[in-house]
Structure 1
Amino acid sequence: MEHDKDIQTTQRGFHCNLCIVNIPNKPSLDDHVKGKKHQHLLRLRAQRKAQEENSVFVSGFKPDTSQTDLKEYFAQFGPVSDVIMDKHKGVYAIVEFSEPQNAQAVLAQLEHQLDGLKLRVKPRERKEFKLATRGKQDSKNTQISLDRLNNELLKATSVNEQMQKVVDSFELKENEKKVRDLLVQLLQEVFTEFFPDCQIVPFGSSVNTFGIHSCDLDLFLDLENTKAFQACAKSSEATGENQSEDCHSEDSILSDIDLSTASPAEVLELVAVILRKCVPGVHKVQTLSTARLPVVKFSHRELNLHGDITINNRLAVRNTRFLQLCSGIDSRLRPLVYTIRLWAKQKQLAGNLSGPGPLLNNYALTLLVIFYLQNRDPPVLPSVNHLKNMACEEEECVIEEWDCTFPSQPFIVPSSKNTEDLCTLLFGFFTFYSKFDFSASVVCLRDGHVLPITDFLRRDEEAVDTAEASGPKPKRSSAPKLGPMNVLDPFEQNHNVAGNLNERTQKNFKRECCEAEKYCRSLQYQRKSTKGKSWGLVRLFAPLSEAGPRSQVETEKIMEVSIPFKAAVLPEPLRAQLALAGKSFRSIWFAKICSAVHTVFHEILKCSPLEETQTVAATTQDKAETEGNEMEVNNNQSVEDSGSQAKSETGKKRPLTVDEEEEEGPSTSTVIEAKRQRLDADMEHPEPVHWTWSQGNRVWAGRRKVRRDLLKTSDETSKPEGGCIDIESRVTQSIVEKEEKLQELLEFKVDAEVVGGNQSTKVVLRFHPSHDTTGVFQDFFHFLESFLPKMAETILGRAGS
């Protein structure tokens, strides 16, 4: 197949310069070229090229010249399709004709005059067609501000000073704060007319001490006093008495709505109407009633501000007070947060330009910084539970049955004994999270330390409450949404503030932390360059495209497939089993994954095992389940709950009675604890598993087309590739029966091991082709990179059904 200029051959397959995507093999390339996106961009590029050929660039006319004037003048050369004028960057226009010969006729005439002025006419500039990306203008503005910041950073004498300059460059200035205060006062006056005794309370970036220029103005409309006013008014009306002075007699919008029974959506619609009709300068009002927290969005034209108004967000107000307190406890927090936020945005880890998406938000990043400071030795910031113990009785606060108690003033909290400077703390942040096991851990600021994810594998009513036992029981007992990164809100303990992240973002975050940690070890980070070169934060903030090549290990061609630990997708029986296993859960999960991988190769892809294939997976799984049973019985769990594990109960010694414990030795709890410690040591990192397989067919080539054909002749519904075991097995069988065999048998080894602790928990599969003279194994590996993790996940899910 001949490839045009849009398709580039790479070591890992192909790259489409038009669509900016990588393609693993030739069959996939054929599908891509015929696909809707590629064909649409081909048509769009041809259309743009035709427009360029049919157009001329015109300048030199008077500023008050209209599009009609230009259209009438150039109509003598042929039909004019469009006239595009830009009077902001300069007085010029693009005149587009219906045919290219019309544009050539214009260019052939040496002189053009309009309103007594000589026009300058030349061919329209030909630009290379590129796929438009979101947030292009925002990126450009950010780059301009970053260039200006870099000039200031290079003048600093230390990293500590550079971090303070970052704060000075991005923090809200006093005049900006005053403008926001004035808008809040205006909204307070307007809304009080319609909702007597209501309160407009700002929260979020504008007031939590971490705000930046042009950050949104988040507002909470507190209607509790208004509800009391309305109840008082109704009571007076029912008794026929005149309303008291407190219950205003004038008509208000409250006569049209009952706040005690109205839904949030109804109240927000009312708020939107008031914003549109009664607040000067407000426009672009939009109600989002289906969001997790329903909100009304608006913009203020003169102030160039974007704002949000919510009515059920008291916890967010309390979170804002908490961040204010942390900022007042230690002055090092703000420079760290500003610096890490900017770093994360430059590395495309945070800052969703188009709204919600799989990137970190500023609140989650700030909590990660605070949690890191809680875990320094000695700690820079105390845990939320320690803060709670420092609060007096008058400062107790419970919102929606969540304990939100902490001191109101920072001077109540003793100063930290930690004396590390900002430069060292920033280095430590990257070191801390480069070795963090996100997959198997939950970040808990309330306790100030990591919680094992096995505590959260029970759903809803079986969820383990991570709050203090002495704290109030929350009315919403469901467990948080588990994901690749789990960061609990300090107070709303069933809310994972990083629940929107996907596997790629978590992986990128950890990778960038590793890269930053390596850089922070160098003199380029620690010392100012005497030759005027980039140093310190300047190089740390370099965007991905400018940060230079990755480490040699990353750029080397390594055939590895990773299957990450995803607690959220595990079936309920397996979740319960892992929850009982504690730290040794990796061994049980590893055995399940190995069994699933074996199934994929042997039963689905029809690979043949060779003689030296080991069956360590089955042995590991038997051992894990047996040990799991022992733990379950020792913890007085029923034998029936253990399911298939009950078989390993035979021959086990009966538990000691209370009297026997006193006579014969240690208590049952002591034995259990010793047993658990031994199991943790033996099973937390089980032995690797090895296979050797052979494959004689191109079972990876053209699978999607075969799947479509099979589904057309069956009653089964379509599922994503790797989403159905039976269908994928039939696809492979069809390929084996109809397609020609490989000229040379493909043999390869697979080594599997589980990692975790100092890195995110996952199973790593390393592939070693025995001999691949025809080069087909590379295509097979590209297919396995996406197919194998999806298929293994599907098999695990079926095992739990």
Structure 2
Amino acid sequence: MEANPNIKVTPKGFLCILCNVNLPNLPSLGQHVKGRKHMTLSAVKETRKAQGECSVFVSGIKPDISQTDITEYFQKFGQVSDVIMDKSKGVFAIVQFTEADSTQATLSCLEHRMKGLKLRVKPREKKDFKLIPKKAGSENLQQSLDRLKPQLCQLASVDAQMQYVVERFQLGDNEKKARELLVQLLQEVFVEFFPDSQILPFGSSINTFGVHSCDIDLFLDLENTKVFQALAKSTTEQAGEAMSDDGRSEDSILSDIDLSSSSTNEVLELVATILRRCVPSVHKVHVVGSARLPVVKFHHQELNLQGDITINNRLAVKNTRFLQLCSGVEDRLRPLVFTLRYWAKQKQLAGNPSGAGPLLNNYALTLLIIYFLQNCDPPALLTVDQLKDMACEEEECVIEGWDCTFPSQPIAVPPSKNTEDLCPLLFGFFTFYANFDFAGSVISVRKGRALPITDFLSQNKAEEAMHEEKPTKTQPHGPKLGPLILLDPFELSHNVAGNMTERSHRSFQRECQDADKYCRSLQYQRKSIKGKSWGLVRLFTPHGDALRAKTEQLTISIPFKLASLPETLRNELHMAGDGFRLLWFQKVCSAVEGVFKNVLRCDIAPSTDAVFGQDSVVDAAGEMETSLNTSTNDSFDISESQDTAVVGAKRRLSSGSEASASPQGKKARMTKMRKPELPHWICAHKHMVWAGRRRVRRELIKDTDCRPEGSCMELEAQVTDHIIEKEPELKETLEFKVQPQMVGETESTKTVLTLEPTSDKTGVFHDLFHFLEIFLPKMVETLLEKEAARA
């Protein structure tokens, strides 16, 4: 590996200074350097370095000097890309050029005078780029709860606690007015550059679920501006003059850009320029063009408010109106949303940094709450399809081909017959999702029910085939499959929880299970007479580091990748219906066993309580899936007379003979037993078949066929045989256990192999593990393709 200034050699391996991560060996280092986090931070570091070389620090200015003044002055030394001003004091600025030569020309000038001021110009201070750690988050969570705890403990009921959470965190009247004034200011500015345009707020600022300091989301509607521009162009061509009907000159900003043909990012760059130069107290303006919906981000310094502006998000405005309607129809929705959002934040289930990350977003969590209320008995909220039938003709709406029709006023919707209090509804939410079948379900708020996942598997398969034949840049029509599939109420091709990973989804369902158990206790339902924490306080308590600390397991994940599966295997999975995961797990287990036995020549034997055959693998997978959906107790009850342990089975009723053998009036004695261990393989290696494989492979193929590692079963088996023949045996046989388990759902389904050494006197197990971590998934994919071709 080439020398990397971000990598430092340590006695225990390597240290990535950029990411602050320790790595044990070269394979791990290679994987890390190719990872998204490292590559992103490397790109940011290089960008910051380039910006520093192209920037100068300017002092000696006054508050009445604008960015435009500074730009016009320094433009004579070269093109200025940005000017960052200290707007709170107005005493310095950073001028950034597009070329480093402009920086040298500026510094070479002995004296800088602008509007009677003598400016002091010097090179911008160079600072090392460092990753800011996020460990302070847990302390902030506890501090947040500590401030809330005294008031919550004094209230008389959980219902009162939930109402207090709303009062404590909701947007105040002054905050709402400040947002309204900002919208008015932006409207006045943008209409000067984009005639007849509109600034429309959406999201948490106006959907009734906004909290203190939440971002303000804005939609810049340019449809009327496009019409104006077309009419102005037509009028100009007819008159033969550079003047439109309302007297606007062609040297206006619209003469520089054609909205009908310009790209989204081009228009957003123009919006960003207007924000920087024409809106007071706005700074930190930048365009995020790589997002699903590109936006311009900014910060209003005086209001201390983060904001986003988008030009192609009309559906989001309609989504906001829908949430407003639900909130107006159902009074209990707001307390539930505020309580569960705070709970999710405390448990680190929500709150993605900078809007991107694997955690649940607030909009998705709100839809999960609405879906739960739709499925209460009786329902507390109607489905979107039911609401559509209640709308009048004037309320019919279709946006980008999606039906967005629903009543505009809550009075048009009949009240719910559900009269449950907030306390049992919150309990019901946790119970509902603690046992929810995310594996086979696509959650539809529009239908108010779960749709079968198999329908979407076949749909995505057809779309992928079309995309391979005719690649396009457009998004696929089907939703992104993931561990949690939650369809948008209107844009039915959008999975609003598509950012979640298998780990974040498991955390969400596990926390729901823990909360469900807690809500069954008196500590949740009744106020403590001794002044102890109760109700929401215990529910909101964040996890401490000690509770989160877990022993690191050596695991290898083999993900379910629909796109890489052979066509024949895809067809088999589709035909299997709801059992497609178990069938895929069976195929993977057979392939794993084939790799160990036929490729790596490992002595392998299944555990004594299971054999990995065609049927038994499916049974084992079913047992694993059942165990994942049951409560995670350390032990379970089982009758002494039973020979087989069944997870979650109820105790049998005593027969007459059993009753006579037991004391009168007492139930049959129950014995606490550990859950049976999941099936596994016991593997043994006598040779280090993982050492020097690349060198042996090159010798065997003799540069006539450069095949990548793990792409050919016969070649890899020859490499193993060559090592066994040429290299000496280990002094002590290496023995280890491999335990397969299926976790996750849909495209995030994984076969997780847990490896544990049982006899490693020579200390080579970790080297074997790091080899298998890369080799095994590739080899399994190869064997699946070979089996499909043979079929």
Q: Could you tell me the TM-score, scaled by structure 2's length?
A: 0.66
Is the Cα contact below 8 Å between 1:134 and 1:354 reproduced in 2? no
What residue number does 1:577 align with?
572
Counterpart CA distance in 1 for 2:401 and 2:383 is: 20
- Pairing 1:349-368 to 2, within 5 Å after superposition: 349-368=349-368
What's the secondary structure of 2:200's corresponding residue?
A: strand
Residue 232 (str. 1) matches residue 231 (str. 2): yes
Is the Cα contact below 8 Å between 2:735 and 2:760 reproduced in 1? no
What residue number does 1:193 align with?
192
Is the Cα contact below 8 Å between 1:282 and 1:301 reproduced in 2? yes
Query: Residue type matched to 1:419 in 2?
Result: T
CA 1:280–1:560: 2 relative to 1, 3 Å: closer
CA 1:563–1:36: 2 relative to 1, 3 Å: closer
What's the CA shift string for 1:146-172, capped at 9, x where partnerless? Answer: 321122222222222222222222111
Structure 1 position 263, deviation (Å): 1.6
Counterpart CA distance in 1 for 2:487 and 2:475 is: 15
Structure 1 position 402, deviation (Å): 0.9
What residue number does 1:440 align with?
440
Query: Residue type matched to 2:417 in 1?
Result: K
What's the CA shift string for 1:196-224, capped at 9, x where partnerless? Answer: 11110001111111111111111000011
CA 1:173–1:691: 2 relative to 1, 3 Å: closer
What's the CA shift string for 1:501-536, capped at 9, x where partnerless? Answer: 222212222222222222222222222222222222
What's the secondary structure of 2:487's corresponding residue?
A: coil
Structure 1 position 417, deviation (Å): 2.0
Counterpart CA distance in 1 for 2:242 and 2:611 is: 84
Is the Cα contact below 8 Å between 2:153 and 2:533 reproduced in 1? yes
What residue number does 1:95 align with?
none
Counterpart CA distance in 1 for 2:695 and 2:215 is: 47
Is the Cα contact below 8 Å between 2:566 and 2:785 reproduced in 1? yes
Counterpart CA distance in 1 for 2:401 and 2:315 is: 11
Query: What stretches of structure 2 of length at least 5 have no aligned partner?
Result: 1-9, 35-129, 465-473, 620-676
Residue 696 (str. 1) matches residue 685 (str. 2): yes
What residue number does 1:589 align with?
584
Segment of structure 1 superposing worse, 348-357 or 559-568: 559-568
Residue 159 (str. 1) matches residue 148 (str. 2): no
CA 1:763–1:296: 2 relative to 1, 3 Å: closer
Counterpart CA distance in 1 for 2:247 and 2:134 is: 49
Counterpart CA distance in 1 for 2:759 and 2:597 is: 21
Is the Cα contact below 8 Å between 2:152 and 2:161 reproduced in 1? yes
Counterpart CA distance in 1 for 2:717 and 2:260 is: 58
What's the secondary structure of 1:458's corresponding residue?
A: helix
What's the CA shift string for 1:740-788, capped at 9, x where partnerless? Answer: 5455556677676768999x9766768898x749597985997699566
- Pairing 1:41-52 to 2, within 5 Å after superposition: none
Structure 1 position 300, deviation (Å): 0.9
Is the Cα contact below 8 Å between 2:480 and 2:494 reproduced in 1? yes
What residue number does 2:275 align with?
275
Is the Cα contact below 8 Å between 1:690 and 1:750 reproduced in 2? no
CA 1:335–1:735: 2 relative to 1, 3 Å: farther
Residue 603 (str. 1) matches residue 610 (str. 2): no
Counterpart CA distance in 2 for 1:157 and 1:276 is: 51
Query: Residue type matched to 2:527 in 1?
Result: K
Residue 516 (str. 1) matches residue 515 (str. 2): yes
Counterpart CA distance in 1 for 2:618 and 2:538 is: 51
Counterpart CA distance in 2 for 1:715 and 1:430 is: 60
Is the Cα contact below 8 Å between 2:235 and 2:245 reproduced in 1? no
What residue number does 1:428 align with?
428
Structure 1 position 304, deviation (Å): 0.8
Counterpart CA distance in 1 for 2:390 and 2:688 is: 65
Structure 1 position 323, deviation (Å): 1.2
Is the Cα contact below 8 Å between 1:397 and 1:403 reproduced in 2? yes
CA 1:522–1:615: 2 relative to 1, 3 Å: closer
What residue number does 1:496 align with?
495
Structure 1 position 226, deviation (Å): 1.1
Is the Cα contact below 8 Å between 1:461 and 1:478 reproduced in 2? no
Counterpart CA distance in 1 for 2:270 and 2:483 is: 39
CA 1:756–1:36: 2 relative to 1, 3 Å: closer
Segment of structure 1 superposing worse, 324-333 or 352-361: 352-361
Query: Residue type matched to 1:399 in 2?
Result: I
Is the Cα contact below 8 Å between 1:434 and 1:511 reproduced in 2? yes
Is the Cα contact below 8 Å between 2:524 and 2:536 reproduced in 1? yes
Is the Cα contact below 8 Å between 1:607 and 1:693 reproduced in 2? no
What's the CA shift string for 1:18-54, capped at 9, x where partnerless? Answer: 999798xxx759988xx999xxxxxxxxxxxxxxxxx
Counterpart CA distance in 1 for 2:443 and 2:422 is: 23
CA 1:139–1:598: 2 relative to 1, 3 Å: closer
What's the secondary structure of 1:544's corresponding residue?
A: coil
Counterpart CA distance in 1 for 2:323 and 2:564 is: 33
Query: Residue type matched to 1:695 in 2?
Result: A
Query: Residue type matched to 1:148 in 2?
Result: R
Structure 1 position 186, deviation (Å): 0.4
Residue 174 (str. 1) matches residue 163 (str. 2): no
Is the Cα contact below 8 Å between 1:539 and 1:547 reproduced in 2? no
What's the CA shift string for 1:487-511, capped at 9, x where partnerless? Answer: 2211111111222222221222222
What residue number does 2:624 align with?
none
Query: Residue type matched to 1:506 in 2?
Result: H
> 602, 609, 613: which is aligned to 1:617?
613
Counterpart CA distance in 2 for 1:195 and 1:454 is: 47
Structure 1 position 178, deviation (Å): 0.3
What's the secondary structure of 1:183's corresponding residue?
A: helix
Is the Cα contact below 8 Å between 2:379 and 2:418 reproduced in 1? yes
Query: Residue type matched to 1:583 in 2?
Result: D
Counterpart CA distance in 1 for 2:271 and 2:496 is: 27
What's the CA shift string for 1:390-447, capped at 9, x where partnerless? Answer: 2222211111101111111122222222222222222222222222233332222122
Is the Cα contact below 8 Å between 1:600 and 1:792 reproduced in 2? yes
CA 1:262–1:542: 2 relative to 1, 3 Å: same
Query: Residue type matched to 1:603 in 2?
Result: N
Residue 402 (str. 1) matches residue 402 (str. 2): yes
Is the Cα contact below 8 Å between 1:385 and 1:447 reproduced in 2? yes
Is the Cα contact below 8 Å between 2:216 and 2:305 reproduced in 1? yes
Query: Residue type matched to 2:351 in 1?
Result: G
Structure 1 position 732, deviation (Å): 5.5
What residue number does 1:415 align with?
415
Aligned length: 612
Is the Cα contact below 8 Å between 1:482 and 1:568 reproduced in 2? no
Structure 1 position 595, deviation (Å): 2.1
What's the secondary structure of 1:296's corresponding residue?
A: strand
Is the Cα contact below 8 Å between 1:232 and 1:247 reproduced in 2? no
CA 1:348–1:784: 2 relative to 1, 3 Å: farther
What residue number does 1:537 align with?
536
CA 1:355–1:592: 2 relative to 1, 3 Å: same
What residue number does 2:143 align with?
144
Structure 1 position 297, deviation (Å): 1.0
Counterpart CA distance in 2 for 1:696 and 1:485 is: 40
Counterpart CA distance in 2 for 1:622 and 1:388 is: 44
What's the CA shift string for 1:207-259, capped at 9, x where partnerless? Answer: 11111111111100001111111222222223329999985545632222222
Counterpart CA distance in 2 for 1:790 and 1:157 is: 59
Is the Cα contact below 8 Å between 1:483 and 1:568 reproduced in 2? no
What residue number does 1:527 align with?
526
Segment of structure 1 superposing worse, 438-447 or 299-308: 438-447
What's the secondary structure of 1:457's corresponding residue?
A: helix
Counterpart CA distance in 1 for 2:602 and 2:395 is: 66
Is the Cα contact below 8 Å between 2:604 and 2:682 reproduced in 1? yes
Is the Cα contact below 8 Å between 2:189 and 2:279 reproduced in 1? yes
What's the secondary structure of 2:528's corresponding residue?
A: coil
What's the CA shift string for 1:364-407, capped at 9, x where partnerless? Answer: 22122222222222222222212222222221111110111111
CA 1:611–1:327: 2 relative to 1, 3 Å: closer
Counterpart CA distance in 2 for 1:365 and 1:752 is: 32
Query: Residue type matched to 1:601 in 2?
Result: F
Is the Cα contact below 8 Å between 2:441 and 2:453 reproduced in 1? yes
- Pairing 1:313-324 to 2, within 5 Å after superposition: 313-324=313-324
Structure 1 position 331, deviation (Å): 1.6
